[in-house]
Structure 1
Amino acid sequence: MVSGTGRWVAVLCWVAVALDGFDLVVLGAVTPALLEYEAWGLTAPRVGAITSYGLVGMMIGALGIGTLADVVGRRMCVLLSVTSFSVFTALLAVAPSPEIFGVLRFLGGLGLGGLIPTAATLVSEYAGTRRNSSSITFMMTGYHVGGVLTALLAIPVLPVLGWRAMFVVGALPALVLVPLMLKNLPESTSFLVARGRRDEAEVLAERYGISLEPEEVRGVAAEERTSEGTGLGAVKTLFSGGYLLGTLAFSVASFMGLLLVYGLNQWLPTIMRDAGYALGAALAFLLVLNVGAVVGLLLAGPVADRYGSKAACAGWFALAAVFLFLLSVQMPLALTYAAVFVTGFFVFSAQVLLYAYVSRHYPTSGRGTALGWAAGIGRVGAICGPLLGGLLLGAGLAVPWGFYAFALVGLLGAVFISAVPRSPAEDARGTTVSPGAATR
């Protein structure tokens, strides 16, 4: 995926994202133990509220840290994100009350939300132009691998050590990861150029075997680089005439993408149970869905690098819609498993392809802000996904209308990605939306 010493960037960010995947699963894994913890007397609605606190924190973190990355640097913000969510995860193990637990989940969510946009910015930059999409989709496999490992870890840890131990285990890897990042994680070259530190950027570009972006090589006036490299300047760029339509379309598509990811992870077993499948099969569907996600992520990046981020992302959303619709049809169990696998293949990687497309659509000096906004708005969809599934189940409409609703969400994602116009940054690079197009 990444040649030479640039692999350090990919590996370190992959591990960091795997810790983010831990958060995806850990609260669900400990929820039964929390409900049985008599000292707190929690109910299911209160646990649901605590979950939402973390998601709100992630939304704010994605918007705030993603923007901050274009002010203080992407390396600093990755370190800040990993350190902060690891510290607050560790503190969950000693939370004295559910109220403090909820506050800590919110604070941990700030770092979690800021990690993916800043890590994706660094990974895509050090992967080089030809592997832009592949690098991001590879990084995001860590998210699902981390979630699967957490679920497996909970089986021996929870019965013996209790729910508090799970949060200690989740925080411990940072003791190794953060020092490794301090030593081996480089700063973004585009950030250095935007701050007038071109000599440092050229040294890093030579060391890691990458090229500076064409618009940077051609030279941008120092005052323009400085303005573009500030948080306010980067935010202004998102809503300028050349980028406004793209920003709005990406925001809606990201909302749809994370609505699908969180809605399906939360409600697929329950919906399949209502559809008449046995409980064991309904739970197995969730595992199959996430296995499909990992395979999809491994293949989506190369497809986008060859045929273009826009075409791949729109196609992935559209195919997700097709297979979500097919799940409404009663089929033999083997075919249903296959359909769920393919659904996971397209649903999860569609959102990651969106991030890859965003990273190509905007100027590199404002890439962290752009990815932060896309991820932040998407977090609103992450909150709405479980709510949509719950409403449909509560109304007795989960089958087949739950599948129809999620299919419509996927279709809307495809429509809005298709509506993204070519950007000035893409024109300046002399490429198409395809990262690989520059080589063809």
Structure 2
Amino acid sequence: MASSTVTLHADGAKFGAYLAQPTAPNGAGVTPHFGWRSMFVIGGLAPIAIIPLLLAIIPADRRPGHVRSHQPAVGLARGRALFGGGAWRLTMLLWTGMFLSAAPVFVAVGWLPTLIETAGASVATAALTASLFSVGGAVGGVAAGSLADRFGIKVMLPFAMAGVVAVISLGLTIGSIAIVPVAGVAGFFAIGLLTLMSAVVGQFYPEEIRALSVGASLAVMRIGAAAAPWAAGHLLDLGLSPGGLFAGCAAIGMASGLAFSGAARQRGAAVEKGAHSGIAH
């Protein structure tokens, strides 16, 4: 249940992105009445509003500021757990996978609506396509987590392979009404893969550094999330077609799945030999 539970929680962000569409410019929500600044007011106040709920449901010993009787290793000890004793190979594979997996998702999020409008489609079609990409990703995250709970993280490779076809199709259907359903399928596999990676990366490490490993991996992913749309913009300026752009993103997504598969094989081999070296069972 671990993978599916984490992916289900992460999918809240995808559903939030979908629900936020009516507040976007040209939408039918609060923006036409209160201006574009209202989006940022809503985005800032909504997290604050749930603080009382979080305080009510989070156990006292898990809240910030609680002092535990057993403190986990800190500083250099944590760094050694991530990189020492050969664990650096595993960490580099995982970080590579997280960094690369951001490309298909955030290039689509950042550039897909603009490319659709440039191809002559309406703003409404561009907004609908972006929404379905997010909704498909939410469903894909739950599906990927459920499959991982049943079959293990080896499901990542088939997910990545299917994502190659879907993301390439995304680029080829820009300018056609077919992009609307294709966006949902592409989101299912591309965002689903990224969500699953984020959910399972901590399982590669001992419990005492699991939070650190997840936080560090997500930080690396966010660097990829920032770099990918920036690089995509430069490539488009140089004359790369949308089809070529998303074909490249599809190849990068496949490489991310291969990186995680390599990490899984390395961990399995280490466990089999009894040489854990900071790697969890």
| TM category, shorter | 0.7 to 0.9
Larger Rg: 1
Q: CA deviation at 1:268?
A: 1.4
Counterpart amino acid of residue 214 in structure 2:
L
1:354 matched residue in structure 2: 197
- Determine which of 9, 15, 20 is the counterpart of 1:150: 20
Instruction: Say if 2:140 is the partner of 1:296.
Output: yes
| Separation (CA, whole Å) in 2 of partners of 1:171 and 1:327 | 32
| Separation (CA, whole Å) in 2 of partners of 1:332 and 1:172 | 37
| Separation (CA, whole Å) in 2 of partners of 1:163 and 1:336 | 28
Q: CA deviation at 1:260?
A: 2.1
Instruction: Pick closer, same or farther for the CA change 1:156–1:334 going to 2, 3 Å.
Output: closer
| Separation (CA, whole Å) in 1 of partners of 2:47 and 2:38 | 16
> RCO (CA 8 Å, sep 6+): is it higher in 1 or 2?
2
2:218 matched residue in structure 1: 375
Q: Quick check: 2:17–2:131 contact (8 Å CA) kept in 1?
A: no
Instruction: Say if 2:170 is the partner of 1:327.
Output: yes
What secondary structure does 2:50 align onto? helix
Alignment of 1:47-86 (within 5 A): none
Instruction: Pick closer, same or farther for the CA change 1:183–1:426 going to 2, 3 Å.
Output: farther
What secondary structure does 1:396 align onto? coil
Q: Quick check: 2:104–2:249 contact (8 Å CA) kept in 1?
A: yes
Q: CA deviation at 1:384?
A: 1.1
Q: CA deviation at 1:346?
A: 0.6
| Separation (CA, whole Å) in 1 of partners of 2:117 and 2:23 | 26
Q: CA deviation at 1:400?
A: 2.4
Q: Quick check: 1:259–1:383 contact (8 Å CA) kept in 2?
A: no
2:131 matched residue in structure 1: 287
Counterpart amino acid of residue 267 in structure 2:
R
Q: CA deviation at 1:416?
A: 0.8
Instruction: Pick closer, same or farther for the CA change 1:344–1:314 going to 2, 3 Å.
Output: same
Q: CA deviation at 1:175?
A: 4.4
Instruction: Say if 2:253 is the partner of 1:410.
Output: yes
- Determine which of 419, 422, 425 is the counterpart of 2:262: 419
Q: Quick check: 1:259–1:378 contact (8 Å CA) kept in 2?
A: no
| Separation (CA, whole Å) in 1 of partners of 2:114 and 2:128 | 12
Q: Quick check: 1:314–1:413 contact (8 Å CA) kept in 2?
A: no
Counterpart amino acid of residue 198 in structure 2:
Y
| Separation (CA, whole Å) in 1 of partners of 2:39 and 2:117 | 29
Q: Quick check: 1:252–1:416 contact (8 Å CA) kept in 2?
A: yes
What secondary structure does 2:239 align onto? coil
Q: CA deviation at 1:394?
A: 0.9
| Separation (CA, whole Å) in 2 of partners of 1:163 and 1:250 | 38
Q: CA deviation at 1:403?
A: 1.7
Scaled by the length of structure 1, the TM-score of the pair is: 0.54
| Separation (CA, whole Å) in 2 of partners of 1:248 and 1:139 | 26
| Separation (CA, whole Å) in 1 of partners of 2:56 and 2:268 | 36
Structure 1, residues 193-237: CA drift from partner, whole Å, max 9, x if none? Answer: x9545xxxxxxxxxxxxxxxxxxxxxxxxxxxx5x5324422321
Q: Quick check: 2:21–2:131 contact (8 Å CA) kept in 1?
A: no
- Determine which of 46, 52, 57 is the counterpart of 1:184: 57
For the aligned residue pairs, the C-alpha RMSD in angstroms reads 3.1
- Determine which of 46, 62, 65 is the counterpart of 1:173: 46
Q: CA deviation at 1:369?
A: 0.5
Instruction: Say if 2:6 is the partner of 1:136.
Output: yes
Structure 1, residues 47-99: CA drift from partner, whole Å, max 9, x if none? Answer: xxxxxxxxxxxxxxxxxxxxxxxxxxxxxxxxxxxxxxxxxxxxxxxxxxxxx
Instruction: Pick closer, same or farther for the CA change 1:400–1:314 going to 2, 3 Å.
Output: same
| Separation (CA, whole Å) in 2 of partners of 1:338 and 1:149 | 18
Instruction: Say if 2:103 is the partner of 1:259.
Output: yes
Instruction: Pick closer, same or farther for the CA change 1:238–1:390 going to 2, 3 Å.
Output: same
Q: CA deviation at 1:423?
A: 6.3
| Separation (CA, whole Å) in 2 of partners of 1:158 and 1:326 | 33
1:249 matched residue in structure 2: 93
- Determine which of 203, 226, 230 is the counterpart of 1:387: 230
| Separation (CA, whole Å) in 2 of partners of 1:356 and 1:330 | 31
What secondary structure does 1:229 align onto? coil
Q: CA deviation at 1:320?
A: 1.3
- How many aligned positions are there? 266
| Separation (CA, whole Å) in 2 of partners of 1:254 and 1:398 | 26
Q: CA deviation at 1:299?
A: 1.2
Instruction: Pick closer, same or farther for the CA change 1:170–1:271 going to 2, 3 Å.
Output: closer
Instruction: Pick closer, same or farther for the CA change 1:372–1:423 going to 2, 3 Å.
Output: farther
Instruction: Pick closer, same or farther for the CA change 1:149–1:395 going to 2, 3 Å.
Output: same
Give unpaired runs (5+ residues) of structure 1. 1-130, 198-225, 428-437
Instruction: Pick closer, same or farther for the CA change 1:178–1:151 going to 2, 3 Å.
Output: same
Q: CA deviation at 1:327?
A: 3.2
Counterpart amino acid of residue 261 in structure 1:
V
Scaled by the length of structure 2, the TM-score of the pair is: 0.82
Q: Quick check: 2:172–2:242 contact (8 Å CA) kept in 1?
A: no
